[in-house]
């Protein structure tokens, strides 16, 4: 279970944002996510969004069957958007100091939450409060570990001796590829 979550988190990280340079969109979040301190905050936010959207988001999901397949992810994403808006508004008006510190991370964390939850959205899961807490904790932890790993990979993917064509992002792709190869050893076939 944890391995699966870890694999998901790793893929989500590799996939959905943050690795690396890029400059488009997430660069600000990236830069802050590269620092281990910010990675902790980031992971906490992801855990919070996971908890909230697991408690809210999974409830009203339409059942499988007629058109539900397309609606379920959409509903969950909408729920996450709602949680994001609520969190951002609350923080902004109640704890502006805290908000300033995490504002750059809030949105990517919300998006990541949706990504991380997607395998569970497709299965018909309904979380009780305890299970939701466990799920959030696992997601947060896996996310934290994964971002630590990628932070450790950063200097390896950007050294002076490597071919210029591979420096930076391409090497990072290869790095994540080999790492996800290792995690694939657990499941052999499918990841999810």
Partner 1 sequence: MTARWMTCGVNLEREKEPSLRGEIVALPAPGGLPAPRTFAPLRKKKPGRARILGAAEEAGIVDELDGEPLARKLSRYAARKTRVLAAVCFDDDPLATGEQAVLRENTAQVLAGLELAAAACGAAERKIAAASRREVRRMRGACPGVGFWAAGDRYPALAVLRLRHGAERAGTIGAQACAALAEAAKGRAQCETVVTVAGDGVSRWMNCRVRLGTPVGSVLQAGVPDENPAVVAVESAVNGRAVTDLSEPVGVLTRCVLAFRKLPRRRALPCVGCGRCARACPRGIVPWMILRQLESGAPDPVFLLGVERCIRCGACGAACPSGIGLAAVVARAEAVKEGGAAPCR
Partner 2 sequence: MKRNGQLLRGARSIFLNGLLFRNPVLVGALGLYPLVAAARSVGSAAALSLLFLLLALPCGLILCFFGMLAPRWFRPGLVLLVSAACYPAAAALADLLLPGSVSGLGMAAGLMICNSAVYSRAEEYAPEHVAAAVLADAFGCSLGFAGVAFLLGALRGLWLTGSLPGAVLPPAGKGFDLPFAGFLMLGFLAALLQWLNRRRAERAAERLKRRIP
Partner 3 sequence: MPLTKAAAPFVRGGLTVAGMMRNAALALLALLVLPVVHYGPRPLLLAGASVLTCFACRVLVCLVRRTSVSFSEFSVLVTGLSVPMLLPLNAPVWLPCAASAFAVLAAREPFGPFGRNPFNPSAAGVAFAALCWPQRVFSYFDPSRPYGFPLFGRAAYRAAQSPAAVLKEGLKPDILPLDLLWGRTPGPLGTTAILVVGACGLFLFLTRTAKWEITAGFLGAAALIAALYPRILCSPATSVKYELLSGSLLFGAVFLATDPVTSPRTFSGRCVYGAFAGALTMAFRWFGTYEQGVCFALLIANAFAPLLDSAVLRLRGWEGKTHEA
The three-state secondary structure class of 18 is: coil
| Residue 80 in tokens | 């996450």
Site residues for partner 2, window 144-173 (CB under 8 A)? 163-173
Interatomic CA distance for residues 74 and 72, integer angstroms: 5
Locate tokens 């947060």: which residue? 140
Interatomic CA distance for residues 105 and 84, integer angstroms: 11
38 binds partner 3 (CB under 8 A): no
Q: In 3D, which of 140, 130, 118, 8 has the Cα closest to residue 57?
A: 118
160 binds partner 1 (CB under 8 A): yes
37 binds, among partner 2, partner 1, partner 3, none (CB under 5 to 8 A by kind): none
| Residue 86 in tokens | 């609520």
Closer of 62 and 133 to partner 2 (Cβ): 62
65 binds partner 3 (CB under 8 A): no
Closer of 37 and 130 to partner 1 (Cβ): 37
Considering only 63, 65, 67, 155, the residue that binds partner 1 (CB under 8 A) is 155
Binding site for partner 1 (CB under 8 A): 35, 155, 158-161
């Amino acid at each position: 279970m944890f391995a699966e979550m870890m694999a998901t988190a790793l893929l989500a990280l590799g996939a959905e944002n943050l690795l690396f340079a890029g400059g488009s969109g997430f660069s600000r979040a990236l830069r802050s996510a590269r620092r281990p301190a910010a990675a902790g905050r980031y992971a906490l936010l992801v855990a919070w969004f996971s908890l909230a959207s697991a408690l809210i988001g999974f409830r009203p999901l339409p059942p499988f069957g007629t058109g539900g397949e397309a609606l379920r992810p959409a509903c969950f994403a909408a729920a996450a958007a709602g949680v994001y808006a609520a969190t951002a508004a609350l923080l902004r008006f109640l704890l502006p100091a805290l908000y300033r510190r995490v504002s750059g991370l809030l949105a990517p964390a919300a998006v990541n939450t949706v990504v991380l939850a997607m395998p569970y959205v497709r299965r018909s899961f309904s979380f009780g409060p305890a299970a939701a807490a466990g799920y959030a904790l696992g997601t947060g932890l896996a996310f934290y570990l994964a971002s630590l790993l990628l932070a450790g990979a950063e200097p390896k993917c950007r050294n002076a001796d490597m071919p210029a064509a591979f420096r930076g992002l391409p090497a990072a792709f290869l790095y994540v590829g080999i790492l996800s190869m290792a995690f694939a050893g657990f499941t052999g076939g499918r990841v999810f």
